[in-house]
Amino acid sequence: MNSNRPEDKNFIRRRQLMKAAAAAVLPAGMASCSSKEKKPEALVVGGLPVTCNLTLPVACAAKAASNAASKQAGPLFEFEYSKYSGWPEVKESLMSGRIQAAYMLAPLVMDLTDKKIPVKIVSLGHRSGAVIMVRTDSPYRQFKDLAGKRIAIPSRFAVDFLFLRKMLAREGMTPKDIEIIEMPPPDMPAALYAKAVDAYCTGEPFGAAAQRAGYAMPLRMTRDEWRNYICCVLTVREELIRENRPAVQELVNYIQAAGVWMDEKQENRDKAVAIAANRKFFNQDPKILQFVMENPTDRVTYGDLRMIKAEFDDLMQLSIEAGTIKKPIPFEQYVDESFVKAAKPASIIL
């Protein structure tokens, strides 16, 4: 990655890490990308197997359940989940038009629209849900203990990176004081276990996976440090809005309803775990997902999916300071609020 920025020398690529870090700590299917063919009546939506994307499997399952109960003749419109292992792959699929919708990193969408890629954010997907994990047998107890250490992040465009920067700033540190590695979230627990990294900052369940296994603990959590944190946002290509606005509206209706439903009671979260753990979606150990939902119960939240301009402005300013976005981008350029404003809660019967 070529750049003149001074801190770039502290970033190294994932492929430079020990290959031993790929040891199977998480289920083998977590990092694979769906190879299913798109059905003519399906809207394929890309996502990562992270609990920040959990409203997507719930929405897909709820829509399928509604279709199954319908007496309407002929094929019914549905949502189809397509699993990716990292943000670069999702970005490329959305840019190329191979998929028309996906959960994306909010700052990455801002940058794409600045580069004239025709995409729009149409809904949030969650709040909170990021952690900074260290080994339980490490001496790191204060954040400043990470000075000079190797820390993995999903992407420079990830809000996890902005969270890390926030924590560094509180200690009077900068990214130049640590060594930062970009790595797909599913690989992070294994890398920490193999001591290929000293810490990692990412969304769940990849913190919970290592914590539940007993070799890692959270050093910082967004639930404690950044309560209005948002990261993953539902993003669609503009041609989909032009050509099939009702499909986008229905998807937003289900995503918004899934968030409210999940935060209503623990029983609903338990059902969401069972859905997401399925091979059709995250293909993960349900006990790990359940750990996220219970330790503590607000580790990730979903009920408040409002798109608040001030919060996006804050994300943009943090991204500008991080150097991942070069200049302010108008809110209306990367967000289409009309679908959330017109949302009618879908029925979530699961």
Question: For the chain, where are the alpha helices, taking DSSP H only?
Answer: 55-69, 87-96, 106-114, 159-170, 188-193, 206-213, 222-225, 238-243, 245-264, 266-277, 286-294, 309-322, 331-334, 338-341
- Is pLDDT at 14 greater than 50 in this prediction? no
Q: Tell me: the pLDDT tens digits for 298-346?
A: 999 999 999 999 999 999 999 999 999 999 999 999 999 999 999 998 9
Distance CA 157, CA 325 (A): 9
Which of 64-78, 131-145, 222-236, 269-283 is predicted least confidently? 64-78
pLDDT, mean of residues 252-270: 97
The count of other CB atoms within 10 Å of the CB of residue 270 is: 15
pLDDT, mean of residues 267-279: 97
Q: How confident is the model at residue 39 (pLDDT cuts 50, 70, 90)?
A: low
Q: Are the C-beta atoms of 284 and 30 separated by less than 8 Å?
A: yes
Q: How confident is the model at residue 72 (pLDDT cuts 50, 70, 90)?
A: confident
Q: How confident is the model at residue 77 (pLDDT cuts 50, 70, 90)?
A: confident
pLDDT value at residue 327: 94
pLDDT value at residue 6: 42
Distance CA 40, CA 18 (A): 43
**What is the gyration radius of the CA atoms in the chain, in angstroms?**
19
pLDDT, mean of residues 92-118: 95
- Is pLDDT at 21 greater than 50 in this prediction? no
CA 301 and chain centroid, separation: 13
For residue 345, what is the DSSP state?
P
- Could you tell me which residue, 6 or 268, shows the higher pLDDT? 268
- pTM of the predicted protein model: 0.85
Q: Which domains does the chain have, with CATH numbers?
A: 6-26+128-225 (3.40.190.10), 40-126+232-319+326-341 (3.40.190.10)
Q: How confident is the model at residue 40 (pLDDT cuts 50, 70, 90)?
A: low
Q: How confident is the model at residue 158 (pLDDT cuts 50, 70, 90)?
A: confident
Distance CA 304, CA 315 (A): 17
